[in-house]
Structures are given as C-alpha cells and as structure tokens.
Amino acid sequence: MDSFDQAWDIICEFCKSRITDVAYKTWFSRLRPVSMDFEKGVAIIEAPNDFHKQTLLRCYSDLLSQALKNVFGDSIGFELCVTEETDRGSEKEASQDEGYELTFRTFVVGPSNRFAHAACQAVASKPALLYNPLFIYGNSGLGKTHLLSAVSNEFKANFPDRTVVYVKSEDFTNEVIDAIARGTTSALRAKYRNADLLLMDDVQFIGGKTSTQEEFFHTFNTLYEAKKQIVLTSDRPPKDIATLEDRLKTRFEWGLTADVQAPEFETRVAIIRRKAESFDFDIPENVCEYMANKLKNNIRQLEGAVKKLRAFHLLENRPINIATAQTAISDIINNSQPTPVTVEKIIEEVARTYQVTPEDICSQKRNAAVSKSRQVAMYVVREITQMPMVEIGQTFGGRDHSTVVYALRQMEDRLERESHTKDTVNDIIKNIRDR
Ligand SMILES: Nc1ncnc2c1ncn2[C@@H]1O[C@H](COP(=O)(O)OP(=O)(O)OP(=O)(O)O)[C@@H](O)[C@H]1O
C-alpha cells in the first residue's frame, strides 16, 4: 500500500506529461490510490463518481495502463471503484472547464503578439528544428502563459508519445533546494532531462540563485544537445535579467527571442468579444469599445471585466450598458491593486536567492552565507516597507537597534562597491514587487 501511494505521484506525472492540463485536472487529479494486490496483479484506484469512472475507462484506460506498466512492469492491471454517489454536477463541471482551455484556438492574434504566436506554433509542430530555445517575453497579463500552454497542448496532440514538462521557475527553484536537502537530485535530473519539450514559465526568477542556475544550465545543455525543444517565458529579455549568469543569457539568446506587447484597440475589442462568446454572453458594440478604451495594458484585467459584467447581468439583472461596464471595470481595477508586500514574503525571496532558509535568516547563526542574506533581507525590508529600525531588529531574531543600523550601513557600502550585490538586490526587489 505504501509503495503504491509513493508510486502514485510518478503515475500521475506520467499521465500529466501526455495529456492536456485541463484533461489532467479534470480526470486524474481526483483519483486516489486505494490498494495494490501484487499477487492478483491489480491496482485498485478510486474515482469520485460513476460518470468519472466511465469516462476514464472510455478515454484514458490505455494511458493509465501504460503509466502502471511504466512503474510496476507488465503484470499490473487496474480496477476503478467508486465510493460516493453519482455526482450529476461533475459532467457539467468538466465540460465548462474545457471551455477555458488555453490553446491556439482560444488565443486572439493581433500585431502585438503575431510574431510570438507564429513562433510558438512553429515549435509545437516542428520542435527543436527551427527555434531552440524559444524565449517569449513581455509584461504581466499579456498571454505568455497562455502561449506556453498552447504549445504544450498542440505538442501533445502532435506527438502523443512524447513527454512534456511544464514548470514555473519558482517551483523549479524549490524543487532544486528540496532535492539538494534530501539527496534526491538524480530523480530531479531524470524528470527534467527526459523531457521532449521543456516549458519554463517566468524564468527571470532563477536570476541570482546559484544552485538553481547551475542545475538549469546542465538541464538546458542536455536537452539542447539531445535536440529537445525548450520554451521559456520572462517579463524581460535575457540581457535585462541582471543576475542571470552570462552562460545562461547567451544560451537563452541562441534560438529566437520574441516579445508580446500590450494589444492595440482592435485586438482588445476582439479579445472582449471572444471572451464574451466563450461565456455565452453578448456584449453590445459600444460597451465592447468602451471597455477596450478603459483597459489597455493587461488582458487578464480585460477578461476579469467581462466576467464581472456577466455576473452583474446574471446575478443582479443589471443591463449590459456602459454604466454597468464602468462599475465592473472599477471593481477589477481596485481588486487588482498589488497586495501589500509582507516581511515574510521578503524574507522568503531573499532566502531563496541565497539558498538558506527563512528560519536561518531570523536565527542567531553567524556563518557567512546566513549573515549576508540577513543583511540583504534587513535592507530590502527597510527599502520596501520603511519599517522602523527597532521593529526590524525585533523581526530578525530580537536584535537591537544598533545592530540594524550597522547592517544597513554595511549594505549601503557594499551596494556602492559591488555591482553584483546591487544587481542581486535590485532583482530581489523587482521580483517581490512583481509578484
Ligand atoms: N491574445 C489573447 N487571446 C485570448 N486571451 C488572452 C490573450 N492573451 C492573454 N489572454 C488571457 O489573459 C489572461 C492572462 O494571460 P497569461 O496568464 O497568459 O499572461 P502572462 O503574460 O503569462 O502573465 P504573467 O506574467 O502575469 O504570468 C489569461 O486568461 C489568458 O487566457
């Protein structure tokens, strides 16, 4: 039973790498490993309801068998059991989810993203032949993750037997730290270096993180040499990620770099129409244009405003006009004010950068790496939150005021003398603010 539980993650990873994210979330994430009878050669897996079970048997039986075979060898089959009563809602839930799939079909193309879109389509159909790596960059909410998911979905459809690995760079960093701590780096390497397509989102966050960059450098080289496709996204071009090692910067520029810009008016109108259609909702032309004129720089906000307008209409029976759109937009804008940065967040980001733990930073430890990261954390806390020095001292393990003054002075000194420290601190501040 224990070994089945442990193997379950690997089975899930296998399935996840071969089907779309939505399909995985809908059909696999709610399965539970129950027991394994090696004598009979049967794994018992629990599905949440009968509809779920029947769909799995119809559509994903081969995949599940393949995944089990991959882990346990040929002799293991499976049975699905259902414990709950049939849940009528789930059929609807699943089909609604399908509507939100991030594919090329649901991506509206305009001058601001045409080039990036074409490059993504090219690598999904001819991986590692044309542009490797493909590096997509642009501001938040302009469709980078949508494009990555579209590449993933299209690639899986084109090459069902190949393995796709998608990861946000922050998760990759955490996996590296975890693997080093537990001594499981070979499993981590196996996961990433066996990918046929590796998608890394928000790669700017690996800047300044030494072991993560080292690990990624070797992963990159292995995949590149094996002619596997790599696609990366970032909020800025490689040359502007100050704390990214030069050897990674140059590699990221080996293939093709494509930016996504804020969409122009016509594309914004088209996106509003497309989103409204996908929610089965009709917005009059003048209201579409009004919304497109008000929200110019972030498609996530545009989408949010359409959803809000629909909710006002359906739940409160409000007319779909400019006044309602105005309220929807101001709700969205107010809700998307950045959440205030907390001291915990700052300490976490600094800890990640210097590969120590947040507890180390607030502890009495005095080794070089910990002391350095503590000074940086105090400095960043002061810069971002203007917290009084006495309070900073208390937060960082009950230190007194003069220790904080000394630490901040030392930091100012170093920032003047050491350009790498300045770059690291600037990147840390940018990463914290962008989150
Ligand atoms: N061209 C487009 N057509 C349709 N929808 C889009 C388009 N661009 C973005 N979107 C939608 O806008 C939302 C935000 O896009 P996405 O998450 O891909 O942005 P991002 O650039 O990855 O942002 P971040 O850097 O903050 O992660 C998503 O719901 C996405 O589907």
Ligand 1 pocket residue status of 170, Cβ below 6 Å: no
**pTM (two decimals):** 0.70
Asked if residue 327 belongs to a domain, the reply is yes
Burial classification of residue 46, based on how many CB atoms lie within 10 Å of its CB (0-12 exposed, 13-18 middle, 19 or more buried): middle
Ligand 1 pocket residue status of 113, Cβ below 6 Å: yes
The structure tokens listed for 267 are 């594309």
Burial code (b: 16+ CB inside 10 Å, e: under 16) for 101-139 equals: bbbbeebbbbebbebbbebbbbbbeebbeebbbbbbbbe
Same domain, yes or no: 245 and 271: no
Which CATH number characterizes residue 14's domain?
Answer: 3.30.300.180
- 102 CA from centroid of ligand 1 (Å): 9
145 is in an annotated binding site: yes
- 105 CA from centroid of ligand 1 (Å): 14
Asked if residue 118 belongs to a domain, the reply is yes
Other CB atoms closer than 10 Å to residue 386's CB: what's the count? 7
pLDDT of residue 85: 43
- 236 CA from centroid of ligand 1 (Å): 16
141 is in an annotated binding site: yes
Ligand 1 pocket residue status of 303, Cβ below 6 Å: yes
- 136 CA from centroid of ligand 1 (Å): 13
Q: Which of 120, 167, 269, 300 to mutate to test the pocket of ligand 1 (most atoms within 8 A of CB)?
A: 300
Question: ipTM of this model?
Answer: 0.98
Same domain, yes or no: 349 and 314: no
The residues near 36 (Cβ < 8 Å, ≥ 6 apart) are 1, 3, 4, 42, 43, 44, 72, 76
Asked if residue 105 belongs to a domain, the reply is no
Same domain, yes or no: 323 and 357: no
Asked if residue 109 belongs to a domain, the reply is no
Same domain, yes or no: 133 and 255: yes
Same domain, yes or no: 355 and 320: no
Residue type, 85: E
Strands 256-259 vs 134-137: parallel, antiparallel or unpaired: parallel
Same domain, yes or no: 78 and 200: no
Asked if residue 379 belongs to a domain, the reply is yes
The DSSP secondary structure of 256-310, one letter per residue, reads EEEE--PPPHHHHHHHHHHHHHHTT----HHHHHHHHHH--S-HHHHHHHHHHHH
Burial classification of residue 219, based on how many CB atoms lie within 10 Å of its CB (0-12 exposed, 13-18 middle, 19 or more buried): buried
pLDDT of residue 132: 96
CA distances from 80 to 46, 50, 88, 93 (A): 6, 9, 19, 21
Which CATH number characterizes residue 363's domain?
Answer: 1.10.1750.10
Which CATH number characterizes residue 224's domain?
Answer: 3.40.50.300
Atom of ligand 1 nearest to the CA of 263: 1
Residue with the nearest Cα to atom 31 of ligand 1? 146
143 is in an annotated binding site: yes
Same domain, yes or no: 172 and 245: yes
Distance CA 352, CA 428 (A): 10
Given 231, 259, 287, which residue is the final one in a domain? 259
Given 68, 86, 104, which residue is the final one in a domain? 86
The structure tokens listed for 147 are 């494009």
Same domain, yes or no: 362 and 319: no
User: Is the CB of residue 248 less than 8 Å from the CB of residue 213?
Assistant: yes
Q: Could you state, in chain order, the average pLDDT of each consecutive group of 10 residues for the chain (435 residues)?
A: 75 85 80 84 86 80 88 83 53 40 93 97 95 96 96 95 94 91 92 96 91 95 97 95 92 96 96 91 94 92 92 88 93 73 89 89 92 95 90 91 93 91 88 75
- 142 CA from centroid of ligand 1 (Å): 5
Which CATH number characterizes residue 277's domain?
Answer: 1.10.8.60
Q: What count of Cα atoms within 13 Å lies in the side-chain half-sphere of residue 242?
A: 13
The residues near 42 (Cβ < 8 Å, ≥ 6 apart) are 36, 76, 77, 78, 79
User: Structurally, how many domains does the chain consist of?
Assistant: 4
Ligand 1 pocket residue status of 108, Cβ below 6 Å: yes
Ligand 1 pocket residue status of 271, Cβ below 6 Å: yes
pLDDT of residue 435: 65
Given 70, 86, 102, which residue is the final one in a domain? 86
Domain with 28 in it = 2-86
Asked if residue 233 belongs to a domain, the reply is yes
pLDDT of residue 89: 39
- 224 CA from centroid of ligand 1 (Å): 27
Residue with the nearest Cα to atom 7 of ligand 1? 143
Ligand 1 pocket residue status of 430, Cβ below 6 Å: no
Same domain, yes or no: 56 and 162: no
Same domain, yes or no: 347 and 413: yes
- 422 CA from centroid of ligand 1 (Å): 32
Asked if residue 310 belongs to a domain, the reply is yes
Atom of ligand 1 nearest to the CA of 302: 12
Same domain, yes or no: 118 and 255: yes
Ligand 1 pocket residue status of 299, Cβ below 6 Å: yes
Ligand 1 pocket residue status of 102, Cβ below 6 Å: yes
pLDDT of residue 337: 63
pLDDT of residue 100: 60
421 is in an annotated binding site: no
Same domain, yes or no: 156 and 181: yes
Ligand 1 pocket residue status of 300, Cβ below 6 Å: yes
DSSP letter (8 states) at residue 141: T
The structure tokens listed for 50 are 């009968």
Asked if residue 61 belongs to a domain, the reply is yes
The DSSP secondary structure of 101-133, one letter per residue, reads --SSTTPPP-TTTHHHHHHHHHHHHSTTTS-SS
Give Cα 50 distance to the centre of its chain.
32
Residue with the nearest Cα to atom 26 of ligand 1? 140
